[in-house]
Amino acid sequence: MEEEQHAIHWAQKKHGRKMLRSAQVRCALVLVFGAGLVAGPGCSSDSAPGATDSPLDASAESNHAFDAGADNTAGEETGVQDGGRRPIADASGNDASREAATDVSGPPADGSPGGGDAGAADVDAANDGSRDPDVATSDGPLPDATADGDGSDGARPIDTMAGAALTRGHHMGTAVKTDLLDSTTEPQFTTVLATHFDTVVAEYQMKWGTTQATRGQFNFVPGDQIIDFASRHAMTVKGHTLVWHQSLPAWVTALTQAEVGPVLDAHIAAVAGHWKGKLYAWDVVNEAIADDGSGYRTTSIFFQHLGAAFIERSFRAARAADPAALLFYNDYGAEGLNAKSNQVFTLVRDLKSAGVPIDGVGLQFHVNGAAPPPLADVAANLDRLIALGLIVNFSEIDIRVAEVPGTTAEKLATQRTLYHDIIALCAARPKCHSASTWGITDKYTWINDQYGPGHMPLPFDVDYMAKPAVAGVIDAWLGK
Ligand code: XIL
C-alpha cells in the first residue's frame, strides 16, 4: 500500500510540475503581450517575482518552521505515555463526536478533482521559511519536494485549490481527523486531501481532550499520525489548540484556583514541547472573547481562575516550548466589523504592544450563507489586523446554505460565490498566509452535528465530488 501510494504520488507530482510550469509560461506571455497591464492567472502584482512581503518571509526572519516535518520521530519522544507507533486504524483520536464512517467503495468518478491530479506541494524542506514564494513566482527550477523521499520535485497542479493558492505564495488547508486518514477504509478522503490541500490542522486530536484526557498522562499518538501523513504528502501542520474552554476533560474543569496556572503551564510545555519543530504554527488560545462580543468569555475555567492574564501566560508558555512556531489567537464571528471583532482587535493589539509573543490571528469563517459578513467589513478588519504587524489565517471555513433561498443548484451557486469572494480577500493580501476549510466533505462535518442536515458547508459533496465551490476557490486564488 505504501509503495503503491508513493508510485502514484510520484507520477502525480510530475504532472503537477508541468501544470505549474505551463501556468508560469502563460503568466509570462500575458505580461509580455499585454504590456504588463493585465495579469494572467497567478500573475498579479501580489505574486510578482521577487515579492518579499509574504508571511513566509516573516517566518524566515524569525526562523519559524514552515516545514512538513520530514524527520518524523514524534512518536518516539520520551515522556510520552502512549508514544509507540500503531496502525492508523487503531487510533480513534478519542473524539466522541466523530461520525461513524460508512463504507465508501470505488474511486472518485471520472472528472472528480479527487480522482487524478494529486501532487505534492512544495514545502520548505530546508526549514528556513524562504522557499515557497519563489516557487510560485520564479521561472527557475522548482526546488525538490523531499518529504516523501523520492527526490523528485512537484507542486500541486494549478487546477487544485492548493496549487492555485501557491501561485500567489498562499496555502490551502483543511482540518482532519486521524481515523479519516486510513486510506483503506476511506480512500477518497486521503486522495482529495493530498490533491487539494497543502496544510492541515487537527480537527480534534491536538486538543486537551486527546492530549491530556487523564491528568499527567499525555497521548500524542493521533496527533503524531496527522503529522506523519502530512510529512509524507508535503503538507505543513498547524497545531490546534492549546487553550480552549471546550474539549476539556472533566478533571480540568474541576481544578482549584491554585492548580489551574501550573496545570496550564505544564500542558503547554508538554504538548507544544512534544511537537516542537514539527508544526509551523499553533492556535495558542481559542475563542477567549464572549460570543456576543461583550468582553472576555467569563465562563472559561481559565478566565475564572486566572482572569485575562491566562492569555498572555499561554502565549509566553507556547513560545518557550516551541520558539519556532508562529503563535495565533483564533476566534469565530470576528470576521467582519462588529462588537466581537472589535474585542479581538483590542485584545491582540494590546498583546502585541505589551510584547507578548503573538504572530497572527485566525478568523474561523463558520459562515451562514444567508447572512455572510459584509465583504467590505472583512477587508477592513483584515487590514487593521495586518497593520498591527500580524499574519492572518482563515482558519476554519465552512459555508452553510440551508437558509439560502432557492434550489439546491442555486444554493450551491451562492456558496461558490461566497467561497470565491472570501478567499479572494485572502489572496489579495500577502499577509494572509492561508485559508483552511474545516473539513473536506459534506459527509463528515461538525456542522451536521451542530446545525443539523441540509447545510452542505464544505467544498466536496458526500461522494467526494467537487461542488461549484471548488472552482470558486481556485478562481479566487488565481485572481479571476
Ligand atoms: C470542533 C470539531 O469540529 C468537533 O469535531 C469537535 O468535537 C469540537 O470542536 N471552533 C473551533 C474548532 O475552534 O475547534 C471546533 O471544532 C469548531 C468551532
Q: What is the pLDDT of residue 450?
A: 96
Whether 208 lines ligand 1, by a CB cut-off of 6 Å, is: no
pLDDT band at 383 (very low <50, low <70, confident <90, very high): very high
- The answer to whether 142 and 153 have CB atoms below 8 angstroms apart is yes
Q: Quote the CA–CA distance of 387 and 342 in Å, as a whole number.
A: 14
Q: Summarize pLDDT for 21-76 with one digit per residue, the tens.
A: 333 322 222 222 222 222 222 322 222 222 223 322 223 233 333 332 222 222 22
pLDDT above 60 for 320: yes
Whether 63 lines ligand 1, by a CB cut-off of 6 Å, is: no
Q: Quote the CA–CA distance of 360 and 81 in Å, as a whole number.
A: 32
Per domain, the residue ranges of the chain are: 2-477
Whether 396 lines ligand 1, by a CB cut-off of 6 Å, is: yes
Q: Quote the CA–CA distance of 49 and 75 in Å, as a whole number.
A: 40
- Strands (E) in 147-255, as ranges, are 171-176, 199-202, 236-243
Separation of CA 163 and ligand 1 centre (Å) = 27
What's the whole-number mean pLDDT along residues 184-206?
A: 96
- The answer to whether 136 and 122 have CB atoms below 8 angstroms apart is no
Amino acid at 211: T
Rg (CA), the chain: 21
For atom 4 of ligand 1, the residue with the nearest CA is: 446
| Catalytic residue check, 76 | no
Separation of CA 22 and ligand 1 centre (Å) = 39
> 3-class SS at 85?
coil
Q: What is the pLDDT of residue 252?
A: 98
Query: What is the 8-class DSSP label of residue 169?
Result: T
Q: What is the pLDDT of residue 185?
A: 84
Q: Summarize pLDDT for 108-124 with one digit per residue, the tens.
A: 222 222 222 222 232 23
Q: What is the pLDDT of residue 9?
A: 33
Atom of ligand 1 nearest to the CA of 446: 3
- Among 186, 312, 335, 396, the active-site one is 396
pLDDT band at 261 (very low <50, low <70, confident <90, very high): very high
Atom of ligand 1 nearest to the CA of 96: 7
pLDDT above 90 for 166: yes
Of 361, 380, 370, 342, the C-alpha closest to 434 is 361
Query: What stretch of H or E contains 120?
Result: none
Whether 247 lines ligand 1, by a CB cut-off of 6 Å, is: yes
**Residues with Cβ within 8 Å of residue 434, at least 6 apart in sequence:** 165, 170, 171, 172, 173, 199, 393, 394, 426
Q: Summarize pLDDT for 125-157 with one digit per residue, the tens.
A: 222 332 232 222 222 222 222 233 332 335 899
Superfamily of domain 2-477: Glycosidases (3.20.20.80)
Q: What is the pLDDT of residue 96?
A: 29
Higher-confidence residue: 41 or 329? 329
Q: Quote the CA–CA distance of 194 and 229 in Å, as a whole number.
A: 9
Q: Summarize pLDDT for 346-373 with one digit per residue, the tens.
A: 999 999 999 999 999 999 999 999 999 9
pLDDT above 80 for 328: yes
Higher-confidence residue: 456 or 8? 456
Q: Summarize pLDDT for 425-437 with one digit per residue, the tens.
A: 999 999 999 999 9
- Among 186, 203, 287, 312, the active-site one is 287
Whether 446 lines ligand 1, by a CB cut-off of 6 Å, is: yes
For atom 3 of ligand 1, the residue with the nearest CA is: 446
Q: C-alpha grid cell for residue 149?
A: 523521499
H helix intervals, 87-149: 132-137
| Catalytic residue check, 287 | yes
- The answer to whether 191 and 108 have CB atoms below 8 angstroms apart is yes
Atom of ligand 1 nearest to the CA of 445: 3
pLDDT above 50 for 97: no
Q: Quote the CA–CA distance of 301 and 254 in Å, as a whole number.
A: 9
